[in-house]
Amino acid sequence: MSFLKNKKVLKMIGFTALFLLVYRFGVLIHLPFIDREFIKSQALSFGFLEVFTGGALSNFSILSLGISPYITASILIQLLQMDIIPVLKEWAEEGEVGRQKINQLTRYVALGLAFVQSLTLTLGLSQGANKAIFIPNDLGPFVYFYLAIVSTAGTAFTLWLAEQITVKGIGNGTSMIIVAGILASFPQMFYNLYLQFFKSGGPVTVGGVFTFIAVILVFILIIVGVTFMEAAQRKIPIQYANRPAAAALRGKTESNIPIKLNSASVIPVIFASTLMSLPITIINFFPNASISNTLNTIFNYTQPIGFVIYILLIFVFSFFYSFLQMNPDKISENLQNQNAYIPGIRPGADTASYLSRVLFKITMVGATYLSVLAALPIILQRVFNLSSAVQIGGTSLIIVVGVAVETAKQLKTETQEKQYRGFI
């Protein structure tokens, strides 16, 4: 707890808390022309998107889209850097200047996506019974455009808050915004769990008490497991041809290539969830009973067929994103340029082949871990007969644990910097 004695760190924590508080207040402000009483009575939910908005989407807040358009834009720009758009690849290789250009482009793309998403959402909700959300029920074209502009401005404001947290706070503002939304949903989730077992209208049974305790223990065990798995990594030792052998044998100076067990993080689950929800979202705009039931059977991951497709997509995207993040050929080339090699492996093609095999094995374990974590909420709901409002497990815990670990490292680094300066 030495960081509590560091005034700079305390100031950073205070700034972060202030900006997160402003964000949570913004979530409570509704969009214009929205019937608040109808929203409360319907208890609408938008599934996985709620993870990134912290309930702002189902609340039809001015910050309804939150940071999600920026995440989508970041993934899109990152994929386009793979020789698809040469200019973006050149920017990625220009260092800090190129990084600033890419960040600026990502923000513009995020605002464009926010406008399209908000306009699509507004038009979709104006169809069928959901049009009762709006006051009046029949909105003109200008009002749809106006609501899209307000939602886009909310996304721009959220991006500004995230940037302030990155610059003036403890850093990683985008992740902090997401974590704030996830943590804000936990009290309501546990309250719903309490209502289900103790305030359901029937007598409180011993079995109900034990089930409640079991669910809490499972939740704690999942957090411990996620913390362990997120920290797990495989270190591949490397040696330098121009470094003395004595220096290479020292434990603390040994060089290695660290490969995280879950190098793709939650990106595969985001991709899989988006692809699974897209057909259902589109068909909801044009209701048709037979087509809707068929698509719900195929693409609803709580159903057997949809569940299998969901898991397969997670595996596919895990391998795709892991090999995108760590290109074995590029790593092999960099090692060769630095006169470095993996002991027992020839430089060049043999090194790339070895790294590919190792990465494949690690990604297989990581994809299995992601699949289990993504399936846990579905399985536990069936086992403990939980309501849909209670999500035990899921990829939201990966985000919370990952950000917590990175934040702890950053606070430790800030504290150590002060100690080094004082020592010198």
**pLDDT at site 253:** 46
Whether residue 175 lies inside any domain: the answer is yes
Answer whether residue 393 is part of any domain.
no
The percent of residues in the chain predicted with pLDDT above 70, rounded, is: 77
Encode pLDDT of 196-228 as tens digits.
Answer: 777 766 666 777 788 888 888 888 888 888 888
State the pLDDT confidence band at 248, using cuts at 50, 70 and 90. Answer: very low
Question: Does any domain span residue 231?
Answer: no
Instruction: Say if 8 falls within a structural domain.
Output: yes
Mean pLDDT of the chain: 78
pLDDT at site 171: 77
Mean pLDDT of 168-176: 82
Q: Above 80 in pLDDT, residue 5?
A: no
Query: pLDDT tens digits for 28-61?
Result: 888 887 776 666 665 555 655 666 676 777 777 8
Q: What is the mean pLDDT of residues 16-39?
A: 82
For residue 286, pLDDT beyond 80: no
Residue range 81-87: average pLDDT?
77
Enclosing domain of residue 105? 1-189
CA angle 60, 66, 69 (to 5 degrees): 115
Task: Output the pLDDT for position 186.
Answer: 80
CA distance 99 to 246: 38
Question: What is residue 43's predicted lDDT score, i.e. its pLDDT?
Answer: 55
Q: Quote the pLDDT of residue 380.
A: 82
Look at residue 343 and tell me if it is in a domain.
Answer: no
Task: Say yes or no to pLDDT of 180 above 80.
Answer: yes
Lowest mean pLDDT among 75-79, 131-135, 250-254, 345-349: 250-254
Mean pLDDT of 88-105: 82
**Residue 283 included in any domain:** no
Cα 138 to the center of its chain, rounded Å: 36
Q: Output the pLDDT for position 152.
A: 92
Question: What's residue 157's pLDDT?
Answer: 93
Quote the percentage of the chain above a pLDDT of 90.
6
pLDDT at 111: 92
- Which has the higher per-residue pLDDT, 391 or 111? 111
Distances (CA, A) of 257 to 209, 247, 334: 48, 18, 12
pTM: 0.77
- Average pLDDT, stretch 371-382? 83
CATH code for position 180: 1.10.3370.10
Higher per-residue confidence, 55 vs 382: 382
> Where residue 408 falls among pLDDT bands split at 50, 70, 90?
confident
Task: Say if 37 falls within a structural domain.
Answer: yes
Count structural domains, the chain.
Answer: 1
Query: Does pLDDT of 251 surpass 50?
Result: no
Average pLDDT over residues 84-111: 83
Looking at the predicted structure, is the pLDDT value of residue 101 above 50? yes
Q: pLDDT tens digit string along 126-169? A: 665 555 667 766 667 788 888 889 989 999 999 999 888 888 88
Residue 291 lies in a domain: no
